[in-house]
């Protein structure tokens, strides 16, 4: 069995990097999150890019660097999952590949928005188009992430060891998060703000924050496990 603690430390540190870089870049510096309404007029969109030109490029660059740091956690998850699976670790490989899709689709829109901010003096139609393209690409493809969670849950529920790699209720909660991110393919239907637009209640607030809630909970559970394990070894040595 792979030594768990160093891997978990790497995962925690890299997720911290993601949180700082992505949240800082998107929420604080560039102001892209929470998302603007899809109902903004052309003038407002162009104005947004013109006024915050440098901040947008700086924030988006920071954020896309941050997305890469999601990979260590996902790959380490696959390492633990592969210990459970018999034969070819199908679900672990699938989880890692879906993680790649998630990272790519989270990072790619940043380059499209950067293109929009790159030459702000180009025609307003083109800037609006790039803006829309970026948002649709960012908000719609959540199913790679749903696949990741389903793989984790399937292997987590198959794990019959006395100490499974994640507890069973976390697996069920992962399935719930997969349900929570499921409505995002509805995003391209709505050009007005509403619960299913790209800044909507279900397609942004639930779909974006339920995975974050799950990952935060995962770290709390892991930290508790490690603490309990240390106490066990301490009492064991006495």
Partner 1 sequence: MMSAMDIGAEKASGGEGITYRYPAELGVWLFVFADMCIFAMYFAVFVWEKNLNPAMFTEGQASLSTQLGGLNTVVLLISSYFAAKAVHSARLFNIEVYKRFIKLTMFCGLIFLCVKFVEYSDKFSAGFDIATNAFYRNYFAFTGFHMLHVIFGLSFLAWLLFSVKTVEQLKEKTQAIEGAGLYWHMVDLLWVVLFSLLYLVP
Name the site residues for partner 1 (rule: CB under 8 A).
168-169, 171-173, 175-176, 179-180, 182-183, 186, 189-190, 194-196, 201-202, 206
When the beta carbons of 111 and 190 are compared against partner 1, the nearer one is 190
Is 176 strand, coil or helix? helix
Give the angle 80-82-87 at the CA atoms, nearest 5°.
Answer: 160
Q: Structure tokens of 134?
A: 């970026």
Q: Structure tokens of 25?
A: 């870049």
When the beta carbons of 119 and 168 are compared against partner 1, the nearer one is 168
Asked if residues 54 and 117 have their Cβ atoms less than 8 Å apart, the reply is no
Nearest Cα residue to 211 out of 186, 178, 165, 170: 178
Q: Structure tokens of 155?
A: 């292997």
> Which residue is associated with the tokens 């560039």?
30
When the beta carbons of 59 and 141 are compared against partner 1, the nearer one is 141
When the beta carbons of 28 and 169 are compared against partner 1, the nearer one is 169
> Which residue is associated with the tokens 């992430």?
145
Tell me the closest approach of the beta carbon of residue 213 to partner 1, in angstroms. Answer: 10
**Cα–Cα dist 232/238, whole Å:** 10
When the beta carbons of 28 and 176 are compared against partner 1, the nearer one is 176
**Cα–Cα dist 157/91, whole Å:** 12
Nearest Cα residue to 158 out of 96, 89, 213: 89
When the beta carbons of 18 and 203 are compared against partner 1, the nearer one is 203
């Amino acid at each position: 069995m792979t030594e768990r603690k160093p891997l978990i430390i790497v995962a925690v540190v890299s997720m911290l990097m993601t949180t700082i870089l992505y949240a800082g870049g998107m929420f604080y510096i560039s102001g892209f999150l929470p998302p603007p309404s899809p109902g903004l007029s052309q003038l407002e969109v162009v104005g947004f890019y013109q006024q915050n030109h440098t901040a947008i490029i700086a924030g988006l660059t920071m954020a896309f660097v941050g997305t890469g740091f999601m990979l260590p956690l996902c790959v380490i998850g696959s390492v633990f999952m592969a210990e459970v699976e018999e034969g070819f670790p199908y679900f672990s490989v699938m989880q890692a590949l879906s993680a790649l899709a998630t990272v790519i689709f989270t990072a790619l829109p940043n380059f499209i928005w950067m293109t929009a901010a790159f030459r702000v003096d180009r025609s307003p139609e083109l800037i609006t188009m790039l803006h829309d393209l970026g948002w649709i690409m960012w908000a719609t493809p959540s199913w790679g992430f749903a696949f990741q969670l389903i793989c984790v849950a399937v292997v987590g529920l198959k794990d019959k060891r006395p100490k499974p790699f994640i507890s069973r209720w976390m697996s069920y909660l992962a399935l719930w998060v997969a349900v929570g991110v499921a409505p995002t393919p509805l995003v391209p239907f709505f050009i007005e703000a509403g619960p299913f637009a790209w800044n909507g209640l279900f397609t942004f607030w639930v779909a974006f924050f339920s995975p974050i809630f799950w990952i935060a909970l995962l770290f709390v559970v892991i930290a508790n496990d490690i603490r309990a394990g240390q106490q066990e070894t301490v009492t064991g040595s006495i």
